[in-house]
Structure 1
Amino acid sequence: MGNGNRPTPEFRREAVRLALTSGRTRREIADDLGMGLSTLTRWVRQDRDAEEPAEDQADLRAELKRLRKENAVLKQKRDILKKAAAFFAKDASR
């Protein structure tokens, strides 16, 4: 692609699809397609932004924040339970 020609919309869609679903790194895909990594990254971001309206992104960010807090609380509870189990296991073996 590096010959100065503009990529076709089909090429762009396929590059984005590969980046999102192939399991390979974006750098590998960009190298294979003969394009810059920054171009592929920009295309993926633009594709993602086009799919989700701004308000949906705000909702997703709020949910992500809530889930991260919940995850932190659950990790704390898990750690407390591990310590309690170890304490009672030591106590039971006496």
Structure 2
Amino acid sequence: MMATGQTYDKTLKQEAVQLVKTSGKSQRQVAEDLGVAMSTLSRWCSELATHGEQAFVGSGHLQPEAEEMRRLRRENETLRQERDVLKKALAIFSHP
């Protein structure tokens, strides 16, 4: 088995999943052959099935939906701050 914390590139992950699909071997056997934990290979298979070509985006990168959600949250926070500033300004200028 390989050391824990090992990082694998996208190509290896895709080829490992493809090997599970086409070789006729079980996930456990493929994992042992590649020196990868069974749980890791299982996660790769489910991630590729769920996300297709968008799977395995890499460290520091987000799925498109997650990136959009992050952007919208930032924008929402900015709008809240602007609204609060305007409320305070209105309160200051409305007093005689």
TM value normalised by structure 2: 0.49
Judging by fraction of residues, say which structure has more helix.
1
TM value normalised by structure 1: 0.50
